[in-house]
Amino acid sequence: MDSFVNEEDFALLNQDHYTFEVLTRILKGECELIRSNHENLLLCHSESHYPVWIWTPDNATDEVKRTAWELACALRPLGTGYRYNLKYELAEYFIEKAASAGIGAGISMNLFVYDCPSAIPPDPVSDGGLYCCTTDDEEEAAAMIPHFYTEIGEEAPSYEKCLEKVRGYIAGKGFFFWKNKNGKTVACCSYKLNGRFASIGSVYTFPDERRKHYAQNLVYQVTRKVSEMGYIPMLYTDADYQASNACYEKIGYILRGKLCTVAIIN
């Protein structure tokens, strides 16, 4: 098992280019941990607090599943708080193995993966408009990022990490606010480019500004922007957050794949 990836690994991930787009992007940066046999198993952890990504092919053999489980247990065990993003068939195997070891594991999040081949204008159109953040907006943007993580039930990064993330987005003109008719920031989102994809994320609306269609209009405008740049817009969502998913579907997003997160369930 090697501690690096090569073109063979990216070719393998291309079999699941929607569901594992984030992993493809992560592997092009710095990672705390990589293990691959370049054939049917790839494990990657970018950094804490993020989940560990584990790729296996569809209909993986029991031998591959067992190897994946043993590798995860040895390097990033569930019992010490790590979580795994993986396919459902591997998740089922992991949950059964955890139970036999006396570990109460389960699915903590169901993930949908969408793309948008053709954006549909939102109805109704919200007041206000899209605002592309600059360096002057770093602190305000960084303060919004933890709210996004809290909203999806994950531990938020430190303010310093949020600021680092935001600076990266802003450097690429990829972080946006929606400002209402009074100039108040009411929502945010971002995008990252990876090959032919533009992955949209960090979508958050302040609670007292919801049900005004701000997020829908914001994501639509950013979707159009990246489409006009020649990229395929895509995003990951919490499958159980029906209101958010309906919002994306109304502006043209189509479900392309499903993953889940396995973690200790109290």
Q: Are 122 and 242 found together in one domain? A: yes
Q: Are 64 and 134 found together in one domain? A: no
Final residue of a structural domain among 111, 133, 160: 111
- The answer to the question of residue 35 being in a domain is yes
- The answer to the question of residue 258 being in a domain is no
Q: Are 201 and 151 found together in one domain? A: yes
Question: What is d(CA 75, CA 246) in angstroms, rounded to the nearest whole number?
Answer: 38
Q: Are 26 and 95 found together in one domain? A: yes
- The answer to the question of residue 265 being in a domain is no
Final residue of a structural domain among 82, 111, 140: 111
> What is the CA angle 237-11-253, rounded to 5?
25
SS3 content of the chain, % helix, strand, coil (to 5): 40, 25, 35
- The answer to the question of residue 243 being in a domain is yes
Q: Are 17 and 122 found together in one domain? A: no
- The answer to the question of residue 1 being in a domain is no
Q: Are 144 and 49 found together in one domain? A: no
Compute the half-sphere exposure of residue 266: CA atoms within 13 Å on the CB side of its CA. Answer: 1
pLDDT at 170: 97
Q: Are 242 and 137 found together in one domain? A: yes
Closest CA to 237 of 264, 218, 261, 213: 261
- The answer to the question of residue 262 being in a domain is no
Question: What is d(CA 191, CA 235) in angstroms, rounded to the nearest whole number?
Answer: 9
Q: Are 91 and 70 found together in one domain? A: yes
Give residue 63's identity as a one-letter amino acid code.
E
pLDDT at 155: 81
Q: Are 121 and 241 found together in one domain? A: yes
Number of domains in the chain: 2
Final residue of a structural domain among 96, 111, 126: 111
Question: What is d(CA 48, CA 199) in angstroms, rounded to the nearest whole number?
Answer: 21
**pLDDT tens digit sequence for 170-196:** 999 999 999 999 999 999 999 999 989
Q: Are 133 and 21 found together in one domain? A: no
Q: What is the DSSP letter of 2?
A: B
The mean pLDDT value of the chain amounts to 95
Q: Are 126 and 175 found together in one domain? A: yes
- The answer to the question of residue 263 being in a domain is no
pLDDT at 132: 98
Cβ neighbours around 183 below 10 Å, total? 8
CA 101 to chain centre: 30
- The answer to the question of residue 127 being in a domain is yes
Give the CATH number, domain containing residue 150: 3.40.630.30
Q: Are 122 and 213 found together in one domain? A: yes
Alpha-helical segments (H) within 37-151: 62-75, 88-100, 138-151
pLDDT, averaged per 10 consecutive residues of the chain (266 residues), comes to 96 94 94 97 94 97 98 95 96 97 94 96 96 97 92 85 95 97 97 94 95 96 97 94 90 96 90
**pLDDT tens digit sequence for 87-103:** 999 999 999 999 999 99
pLDDT at 48: 87
- In DSSP notation, 140-158 reads HHHHHHHHHHHHTT-PPPP
Domain enclosing residue 161, as ranges: 117-250
